[in-house]
Amino acid sequence: MALMPRLRQLMRRTTSASTIGARRPTTGERRGDTLHEDALRAMLVDDPNNIRAFQALSEVVRRRASEGTQVDDPLSAPVDEHEKQRAADLAAWSLGEELAGNPRAWYPLIELARLSLHDDQDAAIRRLATAADRDPTGEALTEAIAVLRDAGLAVEALGLGVGHWRAKEHVPSAGQQVVRAALDADRVLEAKHHLESLQLHPDSKAVAVMSAELRAQIAQAEQHMSGT
C-alpha cells in the first residue's frame, strides 16, 4: 500500500499501536503531527523495513530531541550545535535499536551501521552483514554495500558483497553494487567476473540495462589504468 493512503488509514486509530520512538507525554487534544507519528509507528510494526516510514519517523524523533536541548531562559548560554546533533543521533539510534529487535528487520540495522560506522567500523560491518542475512531478496545487501562505498570503504564493501551475494536469487541491484565496489577497489578483473555472474539473474531486461552502464564504467576504468 502506498505511504499516504496507509498513513490516513492508520491515523484513524484512537491509540498508538507501538511504543517505538515514543514521545514525551502531552496533555490536551492530539495534534495532527502526533497522529502522524503514531501512524508511522504503526506502519513500522507492520513492516519494520518500510524505508520511507522509518526515515520520516527518524526525522520526527531527531527534531524533538534537538528541540529538547534548547533552554527557554534568555540568560543561559546558547545551545551548542554539536550537542543538538548528538541528541538527534541518540534519538535516531534508540529508534533503530528498538526496531532492530524484530527478527524481520534489516533496514534499522542499516541505519544503526550508518550511525556507528565512524566510531566502530567493525561493529557497523557486523550489523550490515546481519541485515544482509535477514533479507532473502538482496535489497538489504544493496543498501549495505552502498553504505560502505559511500564511506570510502571499497574493499570492505566488496568483501561484504562477495560473502553474501547470490546472483540468481538477489535483486539485480545487489550485483550492480558488487561490480561497482570492485571498481571502487581498483579490481577491474574482479568487476568483470561479477558482471558475468550478474547475467545469471532471470530478469534479463533489468540486467541488460545495468550491464550496459557497468561495461562502460569498466571500460573507463581500464583506460584510466592504462593511462590512455
Mean pLDDT of the chain: 86
> b/e string for 78-99 if b means 16 or more Cβ within 10 A?
eeeeeebeebbeebbbebbebb
149 and 100 share one domain: no
Q: For residue range 178-219, what is the model confidence (pLDDT) as tens digits?
A: 999 999 999 999 999 999 999 999 999 999 999 999 999 999
102 CB-contact burial (10 Å; exposed 0-12 / middle 13-18 / buried 19+): middle
CATH code of the domain covering residue 208? 1.25.40
What whole-number percentage of the chain has pLDDT above 90?
69
The closest alpha carbon to 159, from 135, 196, 126, 197, belongs to: 126
3-state secondary structure of 106: coil
Cα of 206 vs its chain's centroid, Å: 23
Domain contains 119: no
143 and 97 belong to one structural domain? no
Residue 12 neighbours by CB distance under 10 Å: 8
Q: What is the pTM of this model?
A: 0.80
Count the Cβ atoms, other than its own, within 10 Å of residue 14: 7
Residue 148 and residue 190 in one domain: yes
Give me the pLDDT at residue 78, please: 55
Structural domain range at position 154: 137-228
pLDDT of residue 79: 59
Residues 148-174, mean pLDDT to the nearest whole number = 98
- pLDDT of residue 19 exceeding 50: no
In a domain, 111, yes or no: no
Do 180 and 100 belong to one domain? no
Backbone φ, ψ for residue 216 (5° rounding): -65, -40
* Cα distance from N-terminal residue to C-terminal residue, the chain: 51
Indicate whether 163 pLDDT > 80. yes
pLDDT of residue 65: 86
Residue 31 resides in a domain: yes
For residue 159, being part of any structural domain is answered with yes
Number of domains in the chain: 2
Please indicate whether residue 23 or residue 189 has the higher confidence score (pLDDT).
189
Asked if residues 173 and 137 have their Cβ atoms less than 8 Å apart, the reply is no
- Residue 30's pLDDT is what? 46
Domain boundary among 105, 128, 160: 105
pLDDT at 31: 58
Whole-angstrom Cα distance, residue 111 to residue 86?
Answer: 15
pLDDT for 22 beyond 70: no
Query: In this predicted structure, what is the pLDDT of residue 34?
Result: 79
Q: pLDDT tens digits, residue range 51-108?
A: 999 999 999 999 888 876 554 445 454 556 788 888 888 999 999 999 999 999 999 9
